[in-house]
A = this chain, B = another copy of it.
Amino acid sequence: MFGKISIIGCGLIGSSILRATQEKKLASKISIYDKSNKVIEYLKKNFTADICSNVSQATKDADLTIICTPLSSYKEILLSIKSTLKEGSILTDTGSAKKEVNKIVNNLGLKNISWIASHPIAGTEYSGPSAGFSSLFKNRWCILSTDNQVAKDKIENLEKFWSKLGSKVKIMSFEDHDYVLSLTSHLPHAVAYSIVRTAINNEEKFKNDVIQYSAGGLRDFTRIAASDPLMWKDIFFDNSENILKVLDNYSKNLDEIKSAIKNKDSKKLLEIFSSTKKVRKEIIEAGQDTEKPDFGRK
């Protein structure tokens, strides 16, 4: 499908792309770069690919370059690869926030490079190259964002690439992406980190109890709160405007529950609790979660 694909950063996402690309034979050559020696060692042991310790060497002659590193590393990487990116090639990424990244790329003044941002809505609570697997993107959405001046055939090429990895592709503006994801992903992470912190910052006496009796609800939140800290710090900074806005709305909703409890307002509390029941059904119907009780946990 592509001559050479270059993967910059080989953690959970990068290594899953590597696995899937090799499995589906989507490139005649794959070059990988990672700044960590430990990752490089792991890759050499487990993959037959061109493994580079120099980032511009990895992107040289690549028809598709995919940045799979935390958002805060983009600037440095882009400055390093800027002059070696192949004319006519596609540059993409896999980051969870888009508006700020788009500014950085635009400021580079890249010539004859098609910048199309990608966000595969896929991942697990684990990180690093050993956590990746080739079916990670199967039946998951991948959102592409780009400017009007990018050629249609380039967008179609990238769409095809993600489709071959098993994803369903949707095009969205950089701005809409960041707002929608602040609701569906960034807010849930802020909340999960806060709730787990509240539960663990307690008297020593209750420390074990909190772990033992977590099946009453808490354990569902600990999965998300186990996500990669560095990656999430970057997302919160890059999309801070949207996140602070939805956090304010969220606090208002929480205050409504608090007031209803304080005032013993039965009707209000029932109304609140009933309003959220329908969404799960819609998410299951949209194929975004399992209908099995308890996520099918055994």
Residues of chain A having any CB pair with chain B under 8 Å: 96, 121-122, 124-126, 131, 140-141, 143, 170, 172, 176, 179-181, 183-202, 206, 209-227, 229-230, 232-233, 236-237, 240, 243-244, 246-247, 249-251, 253-254, 256-258, 261-262, 264, 266, 269-270, 272-277, 279-283, 286, 288-290, 293-298
Contact = CB atoms under 8 A, between A and B. Distances in A.
B293 A198 contact: no
A229 B261 contact: no
B124 A188 contact: no
A258 B250 contact: no
A273 B28 CA distance: 40
A218 to B, nearest CB: 4
Contacts of A289: 214-215, 219, 222-223, 297
Given A191-B195, A279-B200, A293-B126, A244 B215 contact: no
B293 A295 contact: no
18 contacts: A121-B213, A121-B215, A125-B280, A170-B212, A176-B206, A185-B213, A188-B218, A197-B253, A211-B288, A215-B288, A220-B224, A222-B283, A222-B289, A223-B295, A225-B277, A229-B277, A243-B261, A247-B258
A44 B258 CA distance: 41
A216 B283 contact: no
Given A192-B217, A198-B253, A297-B296, A212 B272 contact: no
Nearest to A246: B198
Contact of A279 (B196, B220, B237): B196
Contact of A247 (B179, B184, B254): B254
Stoichiometry (number of copies): 2
Given A180-B210, A214-B289, A269 B222 contact: no
Given A184-B210, A214-B283, 10 more contacts: A96-B216, A172-B209, A183-B206, A184-B199, A188-B216, A191-B195, A198-B250, A217-B224, A289-B297, A295-B296
A245 to B, nearest CB: 11
Contact of A254 (B186, B190, B288): B190
Residue of A170, A183, A185, A266 ringed by the most chain B CB atoms within 10 A: A183
A29 to B, nearest CB: 30
B298 A216 contact: no
Q: Which 10 A-B pairs rank lowest in CB-CB distance, beginning with the nearest? A: A185-B216, A188-B217, A124-B293, A229-B273, A225-B276, A295-B295, A226-B280, A196-B276, A222-B280, A194-B253
Given A140-B215, A199-B183, A213-B121, A264 B237 contact: yes
A148 to B, nearest CB: 20
Contacts of A244: 258, 261-262
A222 B276 contact: yes
A279 B216 contact: no
